[in-house]
Amino acid sequence: MANHYIKFYPVENGDTTLITLSDQTTILIDCKLRASAEDEKDKEKYDVKRDLLESIKKRDNNPFIDVFILTHPDQDHCLGFSKNFYCGDPSKYKKENRDNEEIIVDELWATSILFDVVTNDDAKALKKEAERRRKLWDQDSSEKDKPGNRICMIGYNGDEKFENVEAYVPGNTIIEINNKVQTNFEFFVHSPFKKTLITATSEKDKNYSSIVLQARFKINANDDDFATFFLFGGDADHYSWKEVLDKSKAHNNEDKLKWDIFLSPHHCSWTYFNDVPYDEKEENKTPKKSSLDILDYKVGKGKIVASSKVISKHDKNPPHWEAKQQYLKKLDSSDNFIELAKCPSEDEPKPVIFKITPQGPVKDDSKKQGSSVASAGGSLGAVKSKGEYGSETV
């Protein structure tokens, strides 16, 4: 029997998280695909695209993911989308798209803010693609149900424009992933709330209206209990999280706050704990109770993942040194605070993979096994750097 896996890619300040379910369904949460490492000196840039292509499936020889979730349209959550993901009618996917290894997104999940506030090129490409898919719903075209055309709104701002499109709102549980009902996996939708989507009109509001989800994994369909909870919310700030906490309490949904893995919001930013700049006001330095309370919904030992640059005392937020200290206080051991930029080493970070076991998520090293038969690719440092040879005796 296959396991579920969660893979966190090291992308410095940004998010790229791949969930692979036991039936091989793939869900990518945000992306930050930079150009791959250019030379030996730049090897801390992990080749995320190559790894992603090796981790996902192909259909008719074309790479695809089942779902892409854009938590919010910031550049560090969608960088490289236009270059690496296929945009347009999937039936027109051609050889040149295949040669460019463009990944088809079967089903796109986004919030309505994508249609309002976008500034960077990748977000614009995503907006255009989402618009293309949305129009299929307006036309009630049968094409809208085909892989590569599906779209699903997370949160609803009341705009008529999205009236026809399938949507999930806070309080919903999603069990249908890319037209397939999952029996051992589900998402619980915490955010964005309608009112924040309506009022979010400026660039800075994007974080406030970020998608917040709890992914819930079971080993077997008929297990009573979930084996792992993964709570994540893009760049959602402490205001959003407070609302998540309050609403969950009010609606008897506190179990939806549980986490075995918590992805520290906004790349281990202080915004999760209080307002920034940290030093601007003394009161900013005290973490909000609601943010600390959420961390108490930890199950077992818990793991907190920082998808950021190496966290330094002297760097500007994010990531934030004090935020890390707050997280550490909630963990039994610093081993459970995982800085992706340092795994396994600062020099050459690699993805961190968790296998979902009956006893929670366990870091999985077996996927790092090699083979006795090998050859290197063009991305090898030795290939990209000049080699010097000579017969002169020094």
CB of 297 to another protein, least distance (A): 14
| Helix H or strand E segment including 130 | helix 121-138
In angstroms, the CA 37 to CA 384 distance is: 10
CB of 4 to another protein, least distance (A): 11
Place of tokens 């330094």: 312
3-state class of 140 per DSSP? coil
- Compute CA distances 96 → 66, 80, 86, whole Å: 22, 18, 11
Contacting another protein (CB under 8 A), which of 358, 380, 383, 385?
358
By beta-carbon proximity to another protein, the closer residue of 188 and 229 is 229
344 lines the binding site for another protein (CB under 8 A): no
336 lines the binding site for another protein (CB under 8 A): yes
What are the tokens at 128? 């255009």
45 lines the binding site for another protein (CB under 8 A): no
By beta-carbon proximity to another protein, the closer residue of 184 and 207 is 184
By beta-carbon proximity to another protein, the closer residue of 370 and 387 is 370
- Compute CA distances 147 → 110, 126, 279, 321, whole Å: 16, 16, 49, 43
351 lines the binding site for another protein (CB under 8 A): no
By beta-carbon proximity to another protein, the closer residue of 373 and 382 is 373
378 lines the binding site for another protein (CB under 8 A): no
- Compute CA distances 295 → 260, 298, 340, whole Å: 10, 6, 19
Footprint on residues 174-233 left by another protein (CB under 8 A): 219-220, 222-223
Which amino acid does the sequence have at 12? Answer: E
Binding mask 88-127 for another protein (x = CB under 8 A): ----------------------------------------
Say if CB 27 and CB 182 are below 8 A apart.
no
CA angle 105, 217, 126 (to 5 degrees): 20
Contacting another protein (CB under 8 A), which of 36, 355, 379, 384?
355
By beta-carbon proximity to another protein, the closer residue of 234 and 302 is 302
CB of 69 to another protein, least distance (A): 24
Say if CB 215 and CB 19 are below 8 A apart.
yes
What are the tokens at 190? 């915490």
Chain contacts with another protein (rule: CB under 8 A): 1, 3, 219-220, 222-223, 260, 299-303, 336, 355, 357-366, 368-373
